[in-house]
Amino acid sequence: MSVPEKKIYPRTGDKQTVYLDGVVKDPSITAGAYTMYNDFVNDPMDFEKNNVLYHYPVNGDCLKIGKFCSIACGAKFIFTSANHTLDSLSTYPFPLFYEEWDTPVSEVAQAWDNKGDIIVGSDVWIGYEAVILSGVHIGNGAVIGARAVVTRDVEPYAIVGGVPARTIRKRFDEETVRALESLHWWDLPARQIKELLPAIKSGDIRALMEAYRRL
Residue 3 falls within a domain, yes or no? no
Q: Is 140 helix (H, G, I), strand (E, B) or coil?
A: coil
Query: Are residues 149 and 182 both part of a single domain?
Result: no
What confidence score (pLDDT) does residue 112 get?
85
Residue 29 falls within a domain, yes or no? yes
Count CA atoms closer than 13 A to 37's CA, side-chain side.
28
Query: Are residues 27 and 105 both part of a single domain?
Result: yes
For the chain, what is the domain count? Answer: 2
Query: Are residues 166 and 198 both part of a single domain?
Result: no
Query: Are residues 27 and 52 both part of a single domain?
Result: yes
The one catalytic residue in 55, 84, 137, 184 is 84
What confidence score (pLDDT) does residue 114 get?
84
Query: Are residues 61 and 91 both part of a single domain?
Result: yes
What confidence score (pLDDT) does residue 4 get?
63
Q: Nearest-CA neighbor of 126 among 80, 75, 57, 193?
A: 75
**Pairing relationship of beta strands 125-126 and 143-144 according to DSSP bridges:** parallel
Q: What is the mean pLDDT of the chain?
A: 94
Query: Are residues 116 and 56 both part of a single domain?
Result: yes
Per-residue pLDDT of the chain (215 residues; tens, 9 = 90+): 555 678 999 999 999 999 999 999 999 999 999 999 999 999 999 999 999 999 988 888 999 999 999 999 999 999 988 888 888 999 999 998 999 999 898 888 888 888 899 999 999 999 999 999 999 999 999 999 999 999 999 999 999 999 999 999 999 999 999 999 999 999 999 999 999 999 999 999 999 999 999 98
Query: Are residues 200 and 125 both part of a single domain?
Result: no
Q: Are 185 and 193 in contact (CB under 8 A)?
A: yes
Q: Nearest-CA neighbor of 81 among 45, 128, 116, 40?
A: 116
Provide the β-strand partners of residue 76: 131
From residue 151, alpha-carbon distances to 11, 160, 163, 167 in Å are 33, 11, 9, 12
**Pairing relationship of beta strands 118-120 and 36-38 according to DSSP bridges:** unpaired
Query: Are residues 160 and 72 both part of a single domain?
Result: yes
CATH number reported for the structural domain that contains residue 114 in this entry: 2.160.10.10
Q: pTM value?
A: 0.93
Count CA atoms closer than 13 A to 180's CA, side-chain side.
22
Provide the β-strand partners of residue 170: 158
Query: Are residues 179 and 135 both part of a single domain?
Result: no
Residue 12 falls within a domain, yes or no? no
What confidence score (pLDDT) does residue 1 get?
53
Q: Rounded to 10 degrees, what is the CA torsion of 94, 77, 67, 19?
A: -110
Residue 176 falls within a domain, yes or no? yes
Query: Are residues 160 and 199 both part of a single domain?
Result: no
Give yes or no: 137 in active site: no
What confidence score (pLDDT) does residue 79 get?
95
Q: Are 129 and 147 in contact (CB under 8 A)?
A: yes
Query: Are residues 192 and 130 both part of a single domain?
Result: no
Residue 146 falls within a domain, yes or no? yes
CA distance 121 to 106: 34
Provide the β-strand partners of residue 154: 138
Where in the sequence is the domain holding 123, given as residue range(s)? Answer: 17-171
Query: Are residues 122 and 212 both part of a single domain?
Result: no
Q: Are 175 and 149 in contact (CB under 8 A)?
A: no
Residue 2 falls within a domain, yes or no? no
Residue 28 falls within a domain, yes or no? yes
